[in-house]
Amino acid sequence: MKYVAMIYGNQAKWDSFPAEAWPEAIAKQEAFNAKYRESGELLGAYGLADAADAQLVRRRDGAPVVTDGPYLETKEYIASFYMLDCASLERAQEIAADMPFADTDPVELWPVPHESPADV
């Protein structure tokens, strides 16, 4: 079964993180990624750009209409997401709990019950 694990953030949180701590934090995340890529359970890990770089796209009269930034009622936004392929929900929970920031920030875990095959 596939699962999406998501980590949320906000600009104040990133701004308060000491610049000298980033290299170690990124190294821990890369070690996590390598560990679960090797096991075959991590299909992809994606860090998203700052929320200020996000755009909303709608269609009007058949053409795209683009506006800056996400429309959020909260300051929290998805900072990164991971696609997991695990034998069980319990295994997905173990992997999510092993994420480097899981001791300070929750990881949202969503089952992915439907998939459109890429090779069709």
pLDDT digits (tens, 9 = 90+) for 22-42: 999 999 999 999 999 999 999
Tokens 């929750």 correspond to what residue? Answer: 106
Cβ–Cβ under 8 Å, residues 96 and 109: yes
Average pLDDT over residues 105-111: 93
- 54: exposed, middle or buried (C-beta count within 10 Å: 0-12, 13-18, 19+)? middle
Backbone Cα Rg of the chain: 17
For residue range 38-90, what is the model confidence (pLDDT) as tens digits?
999 999 999 888 777 888 888 999 999 998 876 655 677 888 999 999 999 99
The pTM score is 0.83
Q: What would the CATH number be for the domain defined by 2-49+75-112?
A: 3.30.70.1060
Q: Is the pLDDT of residue 96 over 60?
A: yes
Q: Is the pLDDT of residue 14 over 90?
A: no
Tokens 């998805």 correspond to what residue? Answer: 78
pLDDT band of 112, cuts 50, 70, 90: very high
Domain residue ranges in the chain: 2-49+75-112
User: Which pLDDT value is given to residue 105?
Assistant: 86
Per the structure block, which two tokens stand in for 35?
């560990």
